[in-house]
Structure 1
Amino acid sequence: MNILPLDLSSFDAAIIDLDGTMVDTIGDFVVALNLMLDDFSLGYVTARDVEAMVGKGSEHLIRSTLRHVRGNEADEALCDAAWQRYTHHYLVINGRHSAVYPGVLEGLEALRAQGLRLACLTNKPNDFARPLLAAKGLDGYFEFVFGGDAFERKKPDPLPLQKTCAALGTPPARTLMIGDSSNDAQAARAAGCPVVLVTYGYNHGEPIRGVDADAFVDSLAEISPPCPAARP
């Protein structure tokens, strides 16, 4: 199914993912993870490694990174220590090695101009997500920002979308989910939200067009159709 061009009058709100959808944060992840690994003399990861591991929350990312460099599962003590060091480093470098994707500002402006209420929903911890949005000048677009630690469960569980719809006061069927991965699509499907996926993000190393979604776009600017040109 493809619902583009969108009739935005069918929606009251949009929920938008952060990493891989609005901001390319792989550089931040790589730097923070490698600083963490250096603290334990455990080697390093590359951007390609991280692209396949990111998207399911920081705890999953740290465990996956430790497994990748060690070749086996890390014990809880190492995971806890790694989390502390990762948090320390990430808060220092947050946003310094990342960039807003082309078309994001135009897309957000167009959605807001159509009267849609906007929320950012990410598996990134709140303490990372909010400063990043502020650093990139995106925070003013959103009524709500919910990180991966805002609710009892993370995407792909539908609970975060259900809770975000409740905060917005909009029914799921009239709330568009915009993301970059199967996590976003699975959560949206289970919550009853239509879903559009961007083609440039992080989908655990898998082709994005193989994911069950209503539409795919190469830029957020494509989601809202351009205003018709004025007649001379």
Structure 2
Amino acid sequence: MNYHSPQHLQAVICDWAGTLVDFGSFAPTQIFVEAFAELGVTISLEEARGPMGMGQWEHIRTLCDQPDIAERFTQAVGHAPNNDDVTALYERFMPLQVAKIGDHSAVIPGALETLARLRGQGLRIGSCSGYPAVVMEKVVALAADNGLQVDHVVATDQVPNGRPYPAQALANVIALGVSDVAACVKVDDTAPGLLEGRSAGMWTVALTCSGNALGLTYAEYQALSHADRAVAHERVAGQFLTSKPHYCIPTIAELPDVIDAINARLKRGERP
């Protein structure tokens, strides 16, 4: 048997918050703030956004490792945050997350049309998230109520290692029956999610304006002038440089043109 490089894409693997739903990725970040506040530790929304894209226990651990937050934690609790404290915070976080996920569940404008167009081209739609399975169950149900469905979902606690490791993306490859990772595109609004796709050997597309990095609501984004949107796009794209995405676009609404471009590159024999 001879190896043949794929000539066209077979699957798109999307993140959820900030990519398909929850413009600005507010659901996870706001709850991190509230969970810390229950212990008397104040963190800002901007601080909470820092490690976004990781699994949520790892996200909390990373926050606690930041010197300023660790100092505030020590002052409030009486000792530096250890792994038991991280687990306790995670256990506070989870019920809040499940209870409030519906507050930030709106489908991102353009997502439904984009997925319909990609399916019309024969592409399968996979997905993964930094959310654990108990949260993803509710996210997926709410999305379905709003007309958005994917072909497969992998939560962060369903693999040995979450982002930036490639396990979630590769679990989608297996479940969707993809023949070659070069025939896959990973779409994400966070650096860990982009590194996940890169590590899995896929094409990667960074979303600059609908997710965590810009952190605006859809109304706030719409209120920006075209010039300000362009500036925001370039600024966030610069933040993603070290993750080496193949493409940077504002939102998932612009994805179909990128898919066409990647298919053209595959036909020329290029790979991610």
Query: If the length of structure 1 is used for normalisation, what is the TM-score?
Result: 0.81
Aligned to 1:211: 243
Query: Which of 184, 187, 198 in structure 2 is aligned with 1:175?
Result: 184
Q: CA deviation at 1:140?
A: 4.9
The one-letter code matched in structure 1 to 2:170 is: Q
Task: Say which of 108, 111, 132 aligns to 1:101.
Answer: 108
CA change 1:83–1:169 in 2 (3 A) is: same
- Return the alpha-carbon distance in structure 1 between the equivalents of residues 136 and 239 of structure 2: 26
Q: SS at 1:153's partner residue?
A: coil
CA distance change for structure 1 residues 182 and 40 in 2, over 3 Å: closer, same or farther?
Answer: closer
Residue 20 of structure 1 corresponds to which residue in structure 2?
A: 18
- The equivalent residue for 2:232 is none
Shift of 1:15: 0.7
For the residues of structure 2 that align with 1:198 and 1:93, how far apart are their CA atoms? 24
Give 3-state SS (helix, strand or coil) of 2:157's partner.
coil
- Match 1:129 to one of 133, 136, 149: 136
Relative distance call for 1:46 and 1:189 in structure 2 (3 A) is same
Distance 1:26 1:191, change over 3 A: closer
Q: CA deviation at 1:47?
A: 2.3
1:228 alignment partner in structure 2:
none
Q: Distance in 1 between matches of 2:9 and 2:87?
A: 42
| Aligned residue number for residue 5 of structure 1 | none
Q: CA deviation at 1:99?
A: 3.7
- 2:51 maps to which residue? 53
1:172, 1:193 within 8 Å by CA — same for their partners in 2? Answer: yes
Whole-angstrom CA distance in 2 between matches of 1:54 and 1:224 = 25
Q: Distance in 1 between matches of 2:29 and 2:205?
A: 27
Asked whether the equivalents of residues 20 and 111 of structure 2 are also in contact (C-alpha less than 8 Å), the reply is yes
Report if the CA contact (8 A) 2:130-2:156 is conserved.
yes
Structure 1 residues without counterparts, runs of 5 or longer: 1-8, 226-232
**Structure 1 ranges of 4+ moved more than 6 A:** none
Q: TM-score, normalised by structure 2?
A: 0.70
Letter in 1 for 2:41: L
Residues 152-163 of structure 1 mapped to structure 2, 5 A cutoff: 152-163=160-171
Residue equivalent to 1:41: 40
Q: Which moved more, 1:168-177 or 1:55-64?
A: 55-64
- Provide the secondary structure at the position in 2 that maps to 1:224: helix
8 Å CA contact retained: 1:124, 1:147 = yes
SS at match of 1:152: coil
CA deviations 1:38-66 (Å, max 9, x no partner) are 332223x3322222132111112222344
Q: Percent same amino acid among aligned pairs? A: 22
Structure 2: give runs of 5+ residues left out of the alignment: 1-6, 75-79, 215-235, 258-272
Q: 1:66 to 1:214 in 2, by over 3 A?
A: closer
CA distances 1:152-181 after superposition (whole Å, capped 9, x unpaired): 111211222222101111021111111123
SS in 1 for 2:185: strand
Contact 2:206/2:249 (<8 A) preserved? yes
Q: By how many angstroms is 1:87 displaced? A: 0.8
More strand by share: 1
- Does residue 81 (structure 1) correspond to residue 88 (structure 2)? The answer is yes
Aligned residues: 217
